[in-house]
Amino acid sequence: MGIRTSANRDYYKILGVKKKDNAQIIKKKFRALARKHHPDANSGSTAAEEKFKLISEAYEILSDNKKRKEYDRMRSGSGGGASHRQSQRRGPGTRGDDPFDFGRKYQRQEQSNDGPGTSGSQGFEQEPVIDPDLPTRGFDLQFMVDIPLRTACLGGQISYTYDKHVACTNCKQTGKTEDYETCPVCEGNTRVVENVTVDVEIPRGVRDQYTLRTRNLGGAGRNGGPPGDLLIKVCIIQDKRFKRIKNDVWMEMALPEPLAETGGPLEVKALDKVHTIEVEENTLTGEELRIRGAGAYEPWGKKRGDLIIKFRIVPVEETV
Ligand SMILES: [Zn+2]
């Protein structure tokens, strides 16, 4: 049987768990490792694939009480490593059952500590990574995307191009040709990498570092599993003219001395349109003028903050 040949592999070490660790801990470790070493997350690297196979193999044994028990028995029989010490301590006769019982006790304890609300991870048996034929959800893809301040303030659409896994159409996701040979397009992976461009809606008033999730635009799933999501982390580019503080937008404006003295109308290019403002007589540097509702939208909202213009009086030649 399969495990006989691998009795010299230390599955506990491979998963980074202790012999006494219960099923839940093993599950947790496995999931973390599987995610890290999944070939999809490592752009098909063979080393990652080997590692992933090993992790899966280890988990297959240690997650199955019967297999784990037999594996432990074999390990202690061959007298290697930690299991040897343990079997000596416990003495013959019971050693085969002991690690199992021990683990069970632990599990019970942990479950009672968890209290209600925490998932009992009953659904884990459906976790696809174990069985390559089960439907697997595609990976979420996350990117940081530069967004102009204006778009963040007012909302809008950006076009974004990225690589993602899509289903191979050549083999209809079977990985094989009609002659049962490896599909030459996807090399048996059932999916290929494609460069795609999507329009992403930027909500009004979005804040810096906010992550936008677009469902189903991530990597394709396997075996009919759903695709992952596309996550776009908004990085707002600093603007030369405007600065946003909460929902208000600030700008500095050079005002020629004569106009500052006499006062009069002045055109101001704001975020989305040109406003004509009335400069007061004898305006000084540092004085402000507020245009209500000409600032940024409140996040996802309908109301807008204000635009605040801060004047800087300059000699005429500087404004030319
Ligand atoms: Zn194919």
- Ligand 1 geometric centre to CA of 107 (Å): 43
- Tens-digit pLDDT profile for residues 247-262: 999 999 999 999 999 9
- Ligand 1 geometric centre to CA of 179 (Å): 13
- Ligand 1 geometric centre to CA of 162 (Å): 21
Q: Which domain holds residue 81?
A: 2-116
Which is more confidently placed, 18 or 86? Answer: 18
My answer on whether 200 and 290 are in the same domain is no
* Residue 207 · residue 234 · CB < 8 Å: yes
CATH of the domain at 85: 1.10.287.110
Q: Which of 189, 215, 237 is the last residue of a domain?
A: 237
* 310 conformational bin, left if phi > 0, alpha if psi -120 to 50, beta if neither: beta
- Ligand 1 geometric centre to CA of 269 (Å): 54
Strands 307-314 and 288-291 come out as antiparallel
- Ligand 1 geometric centre to CA of 223 (Å): 13
* Residue 278 · residue 286 · CB < 8 Å: no
CA pseudo-torsion sign 311, 312, 316, 317:
negative
My answer on whether 225 and 250 are in the same domain is no
Residue 6 falls within a domain, yes or no?
A: yes
My answer on whether 195 and 227 are in the same domain is yes
Residues whose Cβ atom is located within 5 A of ion ligand 1: 168, 170-171, 183, 185-186
Residue 30 falls within a domain, yes or no?
A: yes
If you compute the radius of gyration of the chain from its CA atoms, what whole number of angstroms results? 31
Residue 124 falls within a domain, yes or no?
A: no
158: tokens are 């950006």
Q: Which of 183, 204, 237 is the last residue of a domain?
A: 237
- Tens-digit pLDDT profile for residues 158-212: 999 999 889 899 998 888 998 889 999 999 988 899 999 999 999 999 999 999 9
Report the pLDDT value the prediction gives residue 146, as an integer from 0 to 100.
95
Quick check: pTM over 0.85? no
Percent of the chain's residues with pLDDT above 90: 48
* Residue 218 · residue 229 · CB < 8 Å: yes
Average model confidence (pLDDT) across the chain: 80
Residue 23 falls within a domain, yes or no?
A: yes
35: tokens are 């995610």
Residue 135 falls within a domain, yes or no?
A: no
Number of domains in the chain: 3
Residue 78 has pLDDT above 60, yes or no: no
147: tokens are 């967004």
Report the pLDDT value the prediction gives residue 100, as an integer from 0 to 100.
36
CATH of the domain at 172: 2.60.260.20
Cα 121 versus chain centre, distance: 21
My answer on whether 34 and 103 are in the same domain is yes
Residues in the chain: 320
- Ligand 1 geometric centre to CA of 40 (Å): 16
